[in-house]
Structure 1
Amino acid sequence: MRITRTRRRAVLCATAVIMSTGLAITVAPTAFADGAPTTTVTHLVTGDDGRLEVDLSDSAPLTSLQISVRSSTADDAATLLTVSDFSNDTTTAPVQLPAGTAYGSYPVDVDYTLADGTTQHWSGAAHGTDGLLNYRKHAFLAAFTTDRTSTDFTHRDVVLSGHVDAFDPATGTTGPAGADTDVALMWQEDHSPYDSYVQRHAEVDTDENGDFQLLVTPGGGLENGAAVIHTTPADLTPAGTSQFISNVPANPVTYRVTSSPSATQVHKGTRITVRGKVEQLVGGKWKPFGGAPVVTTAADPDSYQYTVPHQLASTTSAADGSFSYPITANMTTLLHTYLRPSTYLPPNSQDEDTVNVPTAGSITLPAWSIDDEGLVKTTGRLNGNASNQSLWLQYSPNGKSGWINLSHITTGYTYGKYVSYAMQAYGNYDGYYRVIHFESAQMLGLVQPAHRLNRIRTQMSVTVTPTRPSYDTSKLSVSGVVTQMTSKGWAHYNHAYVVLVYKPKGDTEWYWVKKAYTNAAGRYSFSTPAYGDGTWGAYLQTDSKHFYSSTKGVNVDVIH
């Protein structure tokens, strides 16, 4: 009968029987292909279960296969055991030497017959370690497991445990390996959602029962866990195979954070308090989240590597989920309050609060003027964080107190370090003016030095005769006095430039007629045709020092 091959190993063409001594009796071989036989033994492998595997150079069919275990490498060494019962290339049962045989390494001779009837002999003694039976107790991992199937924020520890058994070829039995077998453990920890794996390894010894365990805190998902026997006591041979465990995923917490600073606008260096509360979703309901690691930073949470950039403060929430801590405000900052990111606490919730710390500003290139109508104008540059800032033009009669607001503007936006401004309002004949900026979220309060502006007050009188002339060509006499305010009171205004004006009846426009200077007594006089019905008056054409003034209008009716 032909035995079907299931592996690329030697294949028997006839059933062999186990014999204590001598060679196996086989049936006649089938024909072999032309050419010299090439099948040879490459090495022997002693399995952890005590069975011996004969590794051949190819898969040519064999009609017989037999091993003989020798007591030593000597040429005349006794044969301890002969086995010819194989399944493919491996003994069907563990190799068990005669009782009392010491544990050790024994050379094995291999005799096999090819399909063409050629018999081959392979001497284990001639092939060093490749030709030896490892006749010792074999330690192997019988179990490797974990105490939980997942971790979470509250339950982060995982116990890796297992058991090492040993097969005794002398008795054919399996039992605990005993103490001091060193087991190497390996696993990966997943610390972020973007495949940020950390490789871990450890070694642990078995106890007298062959058991081992190791407490680990992975800080995230535990994956690709494996165990392999590293070293054993002298009477044991470690198995080379590994045991694996199922992955232990980390379950994230769904949480929310609320926060509030004690002040939202302070000066640089001021300490404020950030207070808030953390809650977690449990069974579909929000409940206080105690023991949560709260942080406040000046930057968004790092959702990639779970770092905490620009941390300003941190604490652990109380049992009721509340927290508070001081922060020193040194600049305008958008505060981000959230839980320190981890696999258990992904940065999916934060609260944001802005604390404004205004900076100093200044005014440069100021210019002031007051015209003869009393209109005050000022221009300049507001330097600093000057976009969208409010400026007020103020007046005080003495420059020290009694300041009143005259006008207000809001500056435009600037990409630079300053913004130009222009303001105007009607002021007084003599007084002090300044531009003031009240503190805002962006800029500290700013008061410009007071600037004095004044002009000399003037007033005029007028007389027109006659007021009822006979004809359009009749002469009118227009005269009056111009005075100015001095330190001693009202006085005549010498050399004032006066303009005589006329508005025809029914017209809305005034037309100048003549101009003249006042004399030392401040008197002016004009002689002019009547022109027709209308109104006559005069006004002062001012210089840079005097206020404008004008007379009342005098109606003149022509008789004919």
Structure 2
Amino acid sequence: MPAERRSFALAAAIAVVATALSTVPASADDAGPVGIGVARTADNRGTFTVTAWTDAPGAAVTSVSAQVRAGDTGVAEVPALTRTGSTWGLPADAALKLVEDGGTMPHLGAYSIDVSATDDQGHTTTRSAAGTLDFTLRPALIDTAGDNKLEFTRLPTFDRRSLGATDRLVGIEPGSGDQVPIEGRTVEVTRSYDGGAPRPDDTFTAVTDAEGRFTTEDLDMANWASFTAGFTAADDQVHGDARAFGRPSISPSKASVTATADRSRVLPGQTVTVTGTVSTGSGADTAALADIPVRISLRTYGNDRPALTVTTDASGHFSAVLHPPAGVGVDGWSAVPADMYLSATAASGSLVVPDESVLRKVTASLAANGQVKMTGRLAHAYNDDASDGESVRLEYSADGRTGWQSLATGKSDYYGNFTLSAWGYIDGYYRVHHLGSDRLADSTSTPVRLSRVDTRVSSIKASATKVTKGATVTFTGTLQEYVSRTWRPYKGQHVELFFQKKGSTKWTYVASGTTSSTGKATLKGKPTADGKWLIQYFGDSRHFDSGGTAVYVDVR
């Protein structure tokens, strides 16, 4: 980096060198084929560039020269500019400098540039005042390390949440690149809090001293903020903008937070209350921290999800009521001071929040043999995802409101489907009940009433109970249905005669018939072995299978 030199005040006091290097050249004929563009100051303000061309057929520009002048007085002759691509310019190693730097420029300021160009066919053009050389200081803001960064006077703390912004304003001299302090100038500093645009009261000013340094008053930093220093000038000594950006660090104090929750399992619609204390120090030196914001978060799939912020009271205590949403994977909570000037490990706890469940496509049937069957699908209420291995139960109630009793239990499969069956009742209500788990909350299906008409075959008799093998025996009985709380004959129904051999569990079909107008059934069989005989009615869509007492026949 160029060495720092005398102050800008000294540089500005340099006397103007009045000696002219040459007189101002006159402009050539504008009708000539050689053209000259606008001369422009380069980044190094001791140099400039210009375009030149010729319209003469087959010709090319071979040389470009320039003269720099103050008014009518020439201060620098440039006999030959160097060509780079389509432009001609003064090389950096030949940059114009102030007299005290070994150059010919008498002082800082704006100078006119006259340019002459010649092509290889002898055509020449001179353009007077082709451009202006901005031979002024280029401002820059630098820190003590020489970088373009804004510095700060201190690290803000819990007890002192403010800082001053400081830096140095220097001017980069044209040509030499030397840095000189710029004294007595006003620098503007803007504070921008995170998440918000700067406000009118976020702008502050400070004036540079003899070393170019400025320091603002102590500025509040209530939240994370960035600071930008800015300087702008457009005079005959300094011209340009300078910016420096800084984001300060802080020095937080250590704190402790303890907290507990009033429950670890929250069903849909329930709340959980988290209470705790924020303090600093330890042992006998422990002190409660009042008016501290505490952020209570819900943990979902390992990530914190901010829920709400509360403030500690005079004793450092806080309390928050959370409404954990179902269906988003909540598995815990945490509490931590939301003050950036406090460093603390969050207090946390586990939390089970089962998703709401729903029983879909539930079907129920009551078979003629008295078997109740219910099928359906258990799913998450919000996204309809299936959940396997969940317990479901088939329940019965006589009135559909009270006295629910379990008839059968089962588990949902991979797709959430289930099938439950049990022996039912003549009349009543049935439902599926999902027994809540950590994954899914309790749920029940809409009760369904199922009923059939009860039937029986009463007074089953055999014409003989002790017979010889192969003898014909007549079996009679009366088929009845239970209607209006009375057993009534059930005529015209198909009935069948079955035999169960002594010592066997198998019933064998023997014969069939139809009941008479009085419900009487008469069927014949030929016993070949000892055993039971039974007349059976198999129900229809409205009736149960019949019950009855078998008659025993002894074969001799």
Deviation by residue 1:247-279 (Cα, 9 ceiling, x = unmatched): 9863445555444455653665x7765422335
> 2:311: which partner in 1?
316
Of 107, 112, 133, the residue aligned with 1:129 is 107
> 1:241: which partner in 2?
none
Alignment check: 8 A CA contact 1:500 1:514 kept: yes
Q: Tell me the SS of whatever aligns to 1:373.
A: coil
> 1:540: which partner in 2?
536
Q: How does 1:282-301 map to 2 (within 5 A)?
A: 288-297=288-297
User: What is the alpha-carbon distance in structure 2 between the residues aligned to residue 301 and residue 536 of structure 1?
Assistant: 66
Of 520, 523, 544, the residue aligned with 2:520 is 523
Pair 1:484 & 2:481 matched: yes
Unaligned runs of 5+ in 1: 1-7, 10-44, 53-68, 76-121, 131-140, 165-179, 192-199, 232-236, 239-246, 304-308
Q: Tell me the SS of whatever aligns to 1:461.
A: strand
Alignment check: 8 A CA contact 1:459 1:482 kept: yes
Deviation at 1:323, TM superposition (A): 1.3
Of 422, 435, 445, the residue aligned with 1:425 is 422
Pair 1:153 & 2:158 matched: yes
Of 494, 499, 516, the residue aligned with 1:497 is 494
Deviation at 1:125, TM superposition (A): 12
> 1:47: which partner in 2?
6
Structure whose alpha-carbon radius of gyration is higher: 1
> 2:363: which partner in 1?
367
Q: Tell me the SS of whatever aligns to 2:218.
A: strand
Q: How does 1:208-247 map to 2 (within 5 A)?
A: 214-217=217-220
Deviation at 1:549, TM superposition (A): 1.9
Deviation by residue 1:435-478 (Cα, 9 ceiling, x = unmatched): 45678885575551442322322133333343333x42334343
Deviation by residue 1:162-214 (Cα, 9 ceiling, x = unmatched): 999xxxxxxxxxxxxxxx945759899999xxxxxxxx99642489xx99663
Residue identity in the other structure for 2:317: S
> What TM-score does the superposition give when structure 2 sets the normalisation length?
0.53
> 2:250: which partner in 1?
250
Residue identity in the other structure for 2:509: W
Of 449, 452, 455, the residue aligned with 1:451 is 449
Deviation at 1:371, TM superposition (A): 1.9
Of 204, 207, 211, the residue aligned with 2:206 is 204
Alignment check: 8 A CA contact 1:255 1:349 kept: no
> What TM-score does the superposition give when structure 1 sets the normalisation length?
0.52
Q: How does 1:275-424 map to 2 (within 5 A)?
A: 275-280=275-280, 288-297=288-297, 311-327=306-322, 334=330, 336-339=333-336, 344-345=341-342, 349=346, 351-352=348-349, 354=351, 356=353, 361=358, 363-364=360-361, 366-381=362-377, 384-385=381-382, 387-388=386-387, 391-399=392-400, 401-412=402-413, 419-424=416-421
Residue identity in the other structure for 2:206: V
User: What is the alpha-carbon distance in structure 2 between the residues aligned to residue 211 and residue 526 of structure 1?
Assistant: 121
Identity of aligned residues (%): 18
User: What is the alpha-carbon distance in structure 1 between the residues aligned to residue 428 and residue 296 of structure 2?
Assistant: 52
| CA gap 1:267/1:149 in 2 versus in 1, 3 angstroms | same
Alignment check: 8 A CA contact 1:394 1:407 kept: yes
Alignment check: 8 A CA contact 1:329 1:355 kept: no
Deviation by residue 1:383-420 (Cα, 9 ceiling, x = unmatched): 62565565543333344554434334454565xxxx44
> 2:30: which partner in 1?
none
| CA gap 1:253/1:409 in 2 versus in 1, 3 angstroms | farther
Q: Tell me the SS of whatever aligns to 2:491.
A: coil
Unaligned runs of 5+ in 2: 20-98, 109-141, 146-150, 170-182, 195-201, 239-246
| CA gap 1:286/1:510 in 2 versus in 1, 3 angstroms | farther
User: What is the alpha-carbon distance in structure 1 between the residues aligned to residue 510 and residue 287 of structure 2?
Assistant: 91
User: What is the alpha-carbon distance in structure 1 between the residues aligned to residue 368 and residue 491 of structure 2?
Assistant: 18
User: What is the alpha-carbon distance in structure 2 between the residues aligned to residue 381 and residue 204 of structure 1?
Assistant: 73
Alignment check: 8 A CA contact 2:364 2:375 kept: yes
Pair 1:462 & 2:421 matched: no
Q: Tell me the SS of whatever aligns to 2:106.
A: helix
Moved more, 250-259 or 512-521: 250-259
Deviation at 1:537, TM superposition (A): 0.9
| CA gap 1:151/1:447 in 2 versus in 1, 3 angstroms | same
Deviation by residue 1:19-68 (Cα, 9 ceiling, x = unmatched): xxxxxxxxxxxxxxxxxxxxxxxxxx97359999xxxxxxxxxxxxxxxx
User: What is the alpha-carbon distance in structure 2 between the residues aligned to residue 259 and residue 277 of structure 1?
Assistant: 7
Alignment check: 8 A CA contact 2:187 2:214 kept: no
User: What is the alpha-carbon distance in structure 2 between the residues aligned to residue 220 and residue 302 of structure 1?
Assistant: 27
| CA gap 1:322/1:227 in 2 versus in 1, 3 angstroms | same
Deviation at 1:154, TM superposition (A): 3.4
| CA gap 1:476/1:183 in 2 versus in 1, 3 angstroms | same
> 2:71: which partner in 1?
none
> 1:116: which partner in 2?
none
Q: Tell me the SS of whatever aligns to 1:547.
A: strand
Alignment check: 8 A CA contact 2:532 2:553 kept: yes
User: What is the alpha-carbon distance in structure 2 between the residues aligned to residue 525 and residue 71 of structure 1?
Assistant: 145
Number of residues paired by the alignment? 397
User: What is the alpha-carbon distance in structure 1 between the residues aligned to residue 514 and residue 301 of structure 2?
Assistant: 80
> 2:52: which partner in 1?
none
Deviation at 1:507, TM superposition (A): 3.9
User: What is the alpha-carbon distance in structure 2 between the residues aligned to residue 505 and residue 215 of structure 1?
Assistant: 108
Q: Tell me the SS of whatever aligns to 2:545.
A: coil
| CA gap 1:126/1:375 in 2 versus in 1, 3 angstroms | closer
| CA gap 1:440/1:217 in 2 versus in 1, 3 angstroms | same
Q: How does 1:49-68 map to 2 (within 5 A)?
A: none
Deviation by residue 1:294-313 (Cα, 9 ceiling, x = unmatched): 1134567999xxxxx96432
| CA gap 1:186/1:301 in 2 versus in 1, 3 angstroms | farther
> 2:552: which partner in 1?
554
